[in-house]
């Protein structure tokens, strides 16, 4: 296929990430890989010719204009920093009304000084996860290119978000989602079904579903909504803008984020590259990307095999060999944090760029660490699903290693709502040993050290009163 070159007059265009290719294509095209070399694509802006605020504080003017959907949206109020779409094409459902919670009890668990740990709660989005930040941008682009059928492979949240954007907007979008059979949490499956998405359960896992949806999208000309779509990442940059906004435009020391398909970490890196380039921040936070031990590709490649960005030319042999070994040993991703149960992260290369720019680190955390951290987030914060708690477990690990200092200002991204995966939560807290073994024991979780067990009492007033006296006393001891 020949490459259509973006008109030089374009203020925004798509560009291949590979410095040896750098093919450019207009934003009026829907492409999910470079047409010349197959590498990832970025959305790139000609900042010198675009109106950009001289200080981030200027965005505060939008707060008083909340009746305008583009000012209300926590994504589009930062439109000047993702200026690829005309205002009349924007598809928004009011996403990005999130908050940054100062969470001292969780901070104590992590080992931070008081006032230094913050949780960016993305579960407040309409579909209950951070995905809405990306969906609003990708749906906007889909409208720009007149797409109707939209598809994704998903561990659950992308599909839930995609289904919501189709059902809640009047533009005739039709949702087709691919999920690994038995691989997604109930809350997420419930959303896809309730919102009317065509839900294709394939026998396999996310990596299998991802490979298939790319083939299907290619064959049938369906618009792809996974984070391989560069417009998704434009929307997800705004998670960082809102973190800065909530900190009075001060840059924290650390951003800690779970890593699955590596869209978020890639988007965060791009956000900071652009903010620094535009002179809107004077320093960059460090980035920590946290894998689950059962889906540890990034950890293995970066820490084990020393894979690095190298100015856009990471050694492809390293990844190829690792994936080959994974295939020949039949290794499949396996973690209770089903959202990040991914062994072939599509945005690997962009994540390497983010790690390079943000002096990043990668860690893995076990399912035990994830579930314990999740219980602490529930007890001291707004609650989250297992994958999100990987960020808190990862911060704790980096704190123990002395890489994060207790006086650092740390922001952990809580990517998904607590109610997305009730099965994992109830199994952890429940006194039902069979349930614990089935859901968690099988994953190597041995203890529920922070369990809040339900108390079973006969249906008798005196027994109930005795139980309250007994258990509320125990609690205060
Ligand atoms: N946390 C949650 C709750 C997620 O749903 C995901 C990804 C991640 C973290 C990882 O983010 O891919 O940007 O590194 N979920 C995708 C999905 C893969 O299909 O819903 P990432």
CA of 326 to the centre of ligand 1 (A): 21
Of 109, 33, 59, 192, residue with least CA distance to 378: 109
Q: What is the pLDDT of residue 431?
A: 87
CA of 340 to the centre of ligand 1 (A): 6
Of 268, 322, 244, 260, residue with least CA distance to 294: 260
**Closest residue (by CA) to atom 7 of ligand 1?**
339
Give long-range contacts, CB 8 A cutoff, 24+ apart: 465-468.
none
Q: Tokens for 286? A: 């460090």
**Closest residue (by CA) to atom 3 of ligand 1?**
416
Of 390, 368, 392, 394, residue with least CA distance to 380: 392
Mutate to test the pocket of ligand 1, among 212, 261, 384 (most ligand atoms within 8 A of CB): 261
Residue with tokens 């797409």: 147
Helices (H), 224-362: 230-246, 263-277, 297-299, 316-329, 348-357
CA of 260 to the centre of ligand 1 (A): 5
DSSP state for residue 78 in the 8-state scheme: G
CA of 111 to the centre of ligand 1 (A): 26
Protein residues with CB under 6 Å of any ligand 1 atom: 129, 154-158, 227, 258-264, 339-340, 385, 387-388, 415-416
Q: What is the pLDDT of residue 244?
A: 98
**Closest residue (by CA) to atom 10 of ligand 1?**
260
CA of 253 to the centre of ligand 1 (A): 23
CA of 227 to the centre of ligand 1 (A): 9
Sheet with 254-258: strands ordered across: 99-102, 117-121, 410-414, 254-258, 286-292, 361-365
What is the mean pLDDT for each group of 10 consecutive residues in the chain (477 residues)? 54 97 96 95 97 96 96 98 97 97 97 98 98 98 97 96 98 96 92 96 92 94 96 98 98 98 98 98 98 98 98 97 96 95 97 98 98 97 96 98 98 98 96 94 95 94 95 60
CA of 2 to the centre of ligand 1 (A): 33
CA 247, 249, 250, 251 dihedral sign is positive
Q: What is the pLDDT of residue 361?
A: 98
178: region left, alpha or beta (phi > 0 left; psi from -120 to 50 alpha):
beta
pTM score over 0.85: yes
Which of ligand 1's atoms lies nearest the C-alpha of 351?
14
In sequence order, what are the residues at sequence separation of 6 or more whose Cβ sits closer than 8 angstroms to the Cβ of residue 92? 69, 70, 72, 73, 75, 76, 136, 140
User: Which element (helix H / strand E) includes 474?
Assistant: helix 461-476
Q: What is the pLDDT of residue 9?
A: 60
**Closest residue (by CA) to atom 15 of ligand 1?**
339
Tell me the C-alpha distance between 36 and 267, whole Å: 23
Q: What is the pLDDT of residue 85?
A: 97
Q: What is the pLDDT of residue 253?
A: 98
């Amino acid at each position: 296929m020949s490459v259509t070159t973006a008109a030089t007059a374009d203020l925004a265009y798509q560009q291949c990430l590979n410095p040896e290719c750098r093919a450019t294509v207009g934003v009026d095209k829907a492409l999910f890989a470079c047409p010349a070399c197959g590498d990832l694509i970025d959305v790139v802006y000609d900042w010198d010719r675009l109106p950009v605020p001289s200080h981030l504080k200027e965005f505060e003017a939008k707060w008083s204009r909340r009746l305008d959907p583009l000012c209300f949206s926590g994504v589009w109020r930062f439109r000047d920093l993702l200026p690829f779409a005309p205002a009349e094409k924007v598809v928004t459902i009011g996403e990005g009304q999130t908050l940054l919670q100062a969470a001292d009890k969780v901070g104590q668990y992590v080992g931070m000084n008081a006032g230094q740990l913050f949780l960016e709660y993305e579960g407040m989005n309409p579909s209950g996860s951070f995905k809405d930040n990306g969906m609003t941008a990708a749906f906007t682009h889909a409208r720009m290119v007149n797409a109707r059928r939209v598809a994704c492979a998903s561990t659950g949240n992308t599909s839930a978000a995609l289904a919501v954007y189709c059902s809640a907007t009047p533009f005739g979008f039709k949702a087709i989602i691919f999920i690994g059979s038995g691989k997604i949490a109930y809350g997420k499956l419930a959303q896809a079904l309730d919102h009317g998405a065509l839900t294709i359960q394939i026998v396999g896992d996310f990596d299998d579903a991802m490979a298939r949806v790319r083939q299907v999208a290619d064959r049938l000309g369906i618009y792809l909504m996974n984070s391989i779509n560069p417009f998704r990442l434009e929307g997800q940059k705004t998670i960082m803008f809102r973190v800065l906004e909530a900190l009075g435009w001060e840059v924290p020391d650390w951003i800690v984020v779970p890593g699955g398909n590596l869209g978020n970490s890639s988007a965060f890196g791009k956000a900071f590259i652009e903010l620094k380039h535009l002179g809107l921040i004077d320093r960059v936070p460090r980035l920590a990307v946290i894998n689950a031990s059962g889906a540890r590709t990034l950890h293995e490649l970066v820490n084990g095999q020393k894979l690095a960005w190298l100015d856009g030319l990471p050694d492809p042999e390293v990844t190829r060999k690792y994936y080959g070994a994974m295939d020949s040993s039949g290794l499949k991703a396996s973690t209770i944090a089903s959202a990040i149960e991914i062994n072939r992260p599509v945005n690997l290369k962009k994540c390497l760029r983010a790690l390079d720019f943000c002096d990043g680190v990668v860690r893995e955390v076990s399912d035990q660490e994830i579930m314990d951290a999740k219980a602490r987030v529930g007890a001291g914060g707004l609650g989250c699903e297992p994958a999100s708690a990987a960020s808190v477990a990862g911060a704790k690990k980096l704190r123990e290693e002395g890489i994060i200092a207790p006086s650092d200002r740390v922001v952990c991204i809580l990517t998904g709502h607590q109610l997305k995966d009730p099965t994992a939560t109830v199994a952890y807290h429940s006194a039902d040993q069979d349930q614990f073994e089935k859901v968690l024991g099988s994953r190597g979780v041995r203890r529920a050290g922070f369990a809040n067990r339900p108390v079973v009492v006969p249906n008798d007033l005196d027994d109930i009163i005795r139980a309250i006296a007994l258990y509320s006393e125990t609690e205060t001891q």
